[in-house]
Amino acid sequence: MLCAGFGGELFVRGAVGIARRARVSPGLVAATVAAFATSSPELAVSLTAALSGAPQIALGDALGSNVVNLALVLGLVLSTAGMRSARAEHRRDFLFAAGVPLLVGLLARDGRLSRADAAVLLAAFVLWLLTVLREARRQRAAAPDATHGGDWRTPAAALAGLLLLLAAGTLIVRGATAIALALGVDAFLIGATVVAIGTSVPEIATAAVARLRGHDEVGLGALLGSNIFNGLFVVGIAAGLAPIALVPGEIGVALVVCLLATAMAWPRHDGRLPRSRGVLLLGLYAAYLYAMLLVAP
């Protein structure tokens, strides 16, 4: 956890610094660079699981991490103190994040995620990435020129923070997975609960530090971007490597809770996410755990 704490501090500082140098909003950097980086444990776990013949763990980890990001992580952050985040800043990412469980659910109706389904998910990810790049160009064109050169310490801090975050997530995932497998727990359930929490340690640290430093747009942007990355890219890669047979009840619970958590994370008209929303999200996560235990074979 010390790795996570120090890593989150360095990573948030580096991400905000990179945004200033690149003349784009911190929220945009958070939804892309920060989100992709903090989701690298999910990608590593999914690749390993798919190549070792256990793609259910890969799917469970990706979908479970999405639930953890918004229901548990954002719930914990909001329950200690509400946050403010302009709707316009994250409208695009909310739309795609809400579309992830809908698209995965649609593709999973036949009881499996095939390589053709993987291609659809990856195409949707490319579409989102293109819209982000277009927004980045617009912001750079509207912003004054940045000073040339730059402080090498900004990207160095971000890189050092990322390495610490990845180390924390890797250590937790290894320990938790070994314990769960020794107890004979269902593969998807392991991925959707135990492994998902472990691989979400970078997001937990990043969101907590961003809140403490007053960069709410970084915390929320990183969580939304991570969900898009997990649901479209990570699941797409895993299914492309090894088609995934599904247990309808398990995946249904994860997708429904993810959609509800995304809707509950949408800011009010005044841009506020109150503490009461955090309590509701934590309650939703508790219900998710209970439901997963009920439907697990």
Whole-prediction pTM: 0.80
In a domain, 131, yes or no: yes
- Residue 204 vs residue 156, higher pLDDT: 204
pLDDT digits (tens, 9 = 90+) for 17-56: 555 565 566 667 666 776 776 677 777 777 777 777 777 8
CATH for 123: 1.20.1420.30
In a domain, 18, yes or no: no
d(CA 274, CA 284): 16
Indicate the number of domains in the chain.
1
**How many of the other CB atoms lie within 10 Å of CB of 274?**
15
d(CA 72, CA 76): 6
Confidence bin at 6 (pLDDT 50/70/90): very low
What is the reported pLDDT for 119?
Answer: 96
In a domain, 156, yes or no: no
Rg (CA), the chain: 18
What is the reported pLDDT for 171?
Answer: 59
- Structural domain span for residue 227: 27-140+170-295
pLDDT digits (tens, 9 = 90+) for 52-95: 777 787 788 889 989 999 999 999 889 887 788 777 778 888 99
46, 234 Cβ separation under 8 angstroms: yes
d(CA 61, CA 134): 30
Residue with tokens 């997990």: 230
In a domain, 146, yes or no: no
